[in-house]
Amino acid sequence: MTRYALDELCRLVDHTNLHADAREADILRLCDEARRYHFAMVAVNPVQSALCASALAGTDVRVGAAIGFPLGQVSVAAKVFETKDALASGASEIDYVVNLTQVKEGRWDYVADEMRQMVTTCHEAGVLCKVIFENCYLGLEEKLALCQIAREVGPDFVKTSTGFGSGGATVEDVRLMVANVGERVKVKAAGGIRDADSFLALVAAGARRIGCSAGIPIMEELHRRLDASGAACLEL
């Protein structure tokens, strides 16, 4: 088991606002909340990267841009261009969506080449690269094939979901991904994570980042539990 203080749990959170109708005030509030709660990252659409980078300057909260989001249905060249543009605007982490059509067709060379180009683009800039599988649309063999490609290519994270599909993160998927991507690739859970018990279950299953918009009520609930128990840490 691993012991987590409250701040360590906060540092697992990618604080998220990917709504199409988000206003600048919403994004600035997201950044302020992330700074106050010491979350790991704000997850935003790429066009918000510069605003977030400015708002979070001088902090250790990163700016995460969602690329090819939420469908992944653009060319590799388009994803690479979008990534470079987001990085130039101040993004310091990248979450991109795989091309699910190519996955469904079993064109694994395409999927691997896309992942390799995206990881190279990110790592050459010194930023983290996360690969979104969108597991709700995948069968077991497809999930395993993607894990194997990730194991070989070496992104920093693989991620369960966009939060915009027909389903979100599950404990079973996190365990499957952890067991199959190898030790150097971590797992991020995202999609439908709205309460403290779900958060804790996914962390216990091996997730090392949690993408959600409910980070504040989750952390407030965990704070209450720690205060009530008199403990300084939670064991998961």
159 a catalytic residue: yes
Q: Which of 14, 95, 156, 173 is catalytic?
A: 95
188 a catalytic residue: yes
Which residue positions in the chain have pLDDT lower than 50? none
**DSSP symbol at 50:** H
Q: What is the pLDDT of residue 1?
A: 83
Over residues 149-192, the pLDDT tens digits come to 999 999 999 999 999 999 999 999 999 999 999 999 999 999 99
Fold exhibited by the domain 3-235: TIM Barrel (3.20.20)
Q: Which of 79, 143, 159, 186 is catalytic?
A: 159
User: pTM for the complete prediction?
Assistant: 0.97
Query: 172-176: which pairs have CB atoms within 8 A and are 24 or more residues apart?
Result: 173/135, 173/143, 174/202, 174/205, 174/206, 174/207, 175/205, 175/206, 176/140, 176/143, 176/144, 176/147
Q: Which of 79, 143, 186, 188 is catalytic?
A: 188
26 a catalytic residue: no
